[in-house]
Chains A and B, each alone.
Chain A
């Protein structure tokens, strides 16, 4: 099995791995939309979707009812509905760009996953090998570069719809993304200033960031959220804006723009926009976890290596240090953190009302950007001082 795998052409290997990741992300994004409905319902004192059920699962005594009440099958019902319902294409739209926009929305959302590591295992020498589709040194730069392409789909959708509300939505989207991209990028520079010691080869790799957070010792094991809380805060706020989530829901803002950029869309194209939004959220939460919340390390000051060591010490079983087990364990920890962040996204969405457009711009340019610059200067000076005194 292993031989067969390693004998495959690298391109085929990459293709299979990429498809596997997409097969996980796509349903996960769908599940997020269901979770959104459930969470919003619970926060508003409703039971939420709880009717759909597959007949033969209804025969299982308690589990069937529980799953029905949880609304799990609404996921399938939604998917099937979006696939098979009539596709309305208004007569006045530019058909090529209209159909292209949802596809372009999906592309950056799924492409960014290639450079985001989502777990790690230890090889025979004890080095952590990150589980990632492409462990490239540009790492975070690639994420920023590709994910901001997502705005083109919104612009294209708004433009091709040939209708005023989608157009307004797309104009807002582009303005908002430009405003918050800056503070987002500036907020992570301290992290990379810290991990790129002078003399060592420079890197923007996300796996390296996690490596720095799993070093032994008090300062080594500290998650960067404790070292750089302001950076984490600015990054999180910008992340909300970048993923077009409430309270920065400007492109959609259904209260004043009908449905925003996707007003004219329906059926499967519309659902693609939604899956893209949730994929963006998943990748964004993943990057946030890697940068500030220690990636796949279970707790601050307790690294994955420590956990595996303790497990092995307690059980003396060979499987506890098997790369497959360690990989799945790290993946589980990472996914747990990401899903917690997704919950926080939803929690904030159903709590905070939408900002007005001028407030969004004011917050971005007059508050967040100066704060990010001040934060950068402060940390640059501090890091220069520490590294100078250390050498």
Chain B
């Protein structure tokens, strides 16, 4: 390492009195005083959410209003803080979704454990779980901070779907195709 000696300017008399520097500082702050505030006043004004934002994980329905989750439990297994707890259930026979076979009986996400990593969304083969724009969660008890299945659907709503995987499967089965 080379040692580089720096030329230190000796301060002029005006600089040693601090006065010109203080005056120029006062000018800066006064200019700032007249400008409008930069603050976002939070509860009234909300920040713009950028695309790809990872908010609270939610369950979504397909455009036909059917639940997409087939309770494969991949999200439960991948979840690093073990925030997801799924109780799988069978779909009732005779319904138009009988061929899907399984759906979640209960689906709980403990938001006190969730770390918003988005692995559940990434791993989901059915595109049923999404981290959406909701970012503020609050509650008075621990129980309130667990999102149950109905709450998850309420938060998630419906997202557009381009596959309609199970409709295609049903149609294929009816036409004698394996796939």
Contacts and interface: CB of A to CB of B under 8 A. Distances in A.
A44 B31 CA distance: 11
B25 to A, nearest CB: 5
B30 interface: yes
A385 B25 CA distance: 40
B37 A347 contact: no
Contacts of A41: 37
B35 to A, nearest CB: 7
A47 B33 CA distance: 11
A45 B29 CA distance: 10
Given A348-B22, A351-B22, A352-B22, A47 B37 contact: yes
Given A44-B32, A47-B41, 15 more contacts: A42-B33, A42-B37, A43-B29, A43-B32, A45-B37, A45-B38, A47-B37, A347-B26, A347-B29, A347-B30, A348-B22, A348-B26, A350-B29, A351-B22, A351-B25
Contacts of A92: none
A39 B33 CA distance: 8
A41 B26 CA distance: 15
B28 interface: yes
A46 interface: yes
Interface string B27-66: 0111011010111010000000000000000000000000
The number of chain B residues touching the other chain, given as a range, is: 10 to 19
A41 B29 CA distance: 11
Contacts of B29: 43, 347, 350-351
Contacts of A44: 32
Interface of B: 22, 25-26, 28-30, 32-33, 35, 37-39, 41
Contact of A47 (B22, B28, B32, B39): B39
A9 B93 CA distance: 101
Interface string A38-70: 010111111100000000000000000000000
A351 B29 CA distance: 6
A383 B59 CA distance: 89
A45 B39 contact: yes
A351 B32 CA distance: 11
Contacts of B30: 347
B37 A43 contact: no
A342 B37 CA distance: 22
A44 B37 CA distance: 8
Contacts of A348: 22, 26
B26 A46 contact: no
19 contacts: A39-B33, A42-B32, A42-B37, A43-B32, A43-B33, A44-B32, A45-B32, A45-B38, A46-B38, A47-B37, A347-B26, A347-B29, A347-B30, A347-B33, A348-B22, A351-B22, A351-B25, A351-B29, A352-B22
A350 to B, nearest CB: 6
Nearest to B25: A351
Contact of A351 (B28, B37, B38, B41): B28
A9 to B, nearest CB: 50
Contacts of A351: 22, 25-26, 28-29
A42 B30 CA distance: 9
